[in-house]
Structure 1
């Protein structure tokens, strides 16, 4: 009987690119108490990121922080980012909590309809949340990060579908996409990476108020609707690439839904 030969030593040095760890990083997440933002916060916290979130509803904040703290570290505040000082108050509270941060997930958004189906007040409020707060959050983040960090926008494939029934929402998301592309070129040489992630139809109570949880679960089962966790995984991918590379844009759509 002969001894079994030892398997050859495998050289895996070039089998995978460097994947920087997330443990010890600090992230602000707008709209991090529900839906996609909450899923991102939970995933990052589970990877050792200290997260600071904001949302408008006190109960959602309490629930979100409870889940975040089950897997990691986090805190947050209730704030309406449409208010002129909303972003400043959020960022100031985050810095009081953990000092400077090196990740900003710009996610908070509300649904918006067609131009002629919204009141002027609704239009101004939607712009303040879905567009202005995206730019001002990025501005504040860049000031804090200076020469090292990641800014990730959660946009939407609506930027490209441009449906009449959601013209305002589509217009704002197209604006976010354009801003993300330009500011990536501005901040990249300074050491800050920028990515725009564009989800297609994703389960979220705020987005589909008349779409019951049971109906969403059925679409999830048929794989015609994404889960918030799917978008969080996309964010994780972006943040774990080597500093020499930047994932500029990701579009995530349900496999079984053909029109997106």
Structure 2
């Protein structure tokens, strides 16, 4: 007969722990990024977050440090050279890093109704800076690392009225798939998490805080913490696995 420990070994795969991991999260001061930073810090990770607002940064770090260890800086990743400078700062603060979660994004709308200057900035934040951050990250990472992109189901739903945003998320979807294959031999895993409609400050133009709370209560909108749990799952799988895509949607659609 098998011993009880052997039975447990047969029932469970060996999963790595978050404790001691050094994690960088862009857009980690609000929404999904903030929720992810709080969860990972509470599980023992050392986190470094960045965001455009100093006020949001201070608020996020106060919450993170109630549960774990967090540091960060305010910056605009759309500015040339900023992703590299941010990751240099993160490496100094964390003595290197194992995991980079690229999440910073802003809302983007329809092509015809958006000024070109706005389009240029939206593309810089939601696409160009992601590639620059990924390139800077992998040049500073060793084997055993993880690169996680927080995309959007907009890449597949492709609804009208958000064509610029759809373009960036569809582009990241393809980029992540190709990059995963490029980095496999280096033992750097690449994952894409695509949330559906999620309550955050990004939704304020369409949904007030009260409306978001109502939709979440009706199971018609996700909480940012729901996506944080998906990221945690991705990061706690055996090294032989690569969770290439996690798509998380609310059980019900908004009426």
Scaled by the length of structure 2, what TM-score is found? 0.96
Aligned residues: 252
Aligned match for 1:14, one of 10, 13, 19: 10
Equivalence for 1:113: 109
Contact preservation (8 Å) 2:150, 2:192: yes
Equivalence for 2:54: 58
Gaps of 5+ in 1: 1-7
CA distance in 2, matches of 1:236, 1:125: 30
Equivalence for 1:199: 195
Matched, 1:176 2:172: yes
Q: Deviations over 1:50-88 (max 9, x none)?
A: 000000111100100000000000110010011112211
- Deviation of the 1:180 alpha carbon: 0.1
Equivalence for 2:42: 46
CA distance in 1, matches of 2:199, 2:155: 18
CA distance in 1, matches of 2:171, 2:150: 12
Matched, 1:219 2:215: yes
Higher mean Cα deviation, 92-101 or 52-61? 92-101
Which runs of structure 1 show a deviation greater than 4 angstroms over 4 or more consecutive aligned residues? none
CA RMSD across the alignment = 1.4
Aligned match for 1:77, one of 69, 73, 81: 73
SS of the residue 1:18 aligns to:
coil
Gaps of 5+ in 2: none
Aligned match for 1:134, one of 111, 130, 151: 130
Aligned match for 1:228, one of 214, 219, 224: 224
Equivalence for 2:241: 245
Q: Deviations over 1:9-33 (max 9, x none)?
A: 4721111111111111101000000
Contact preservation (8 Å) 1:156, 1:198: yes
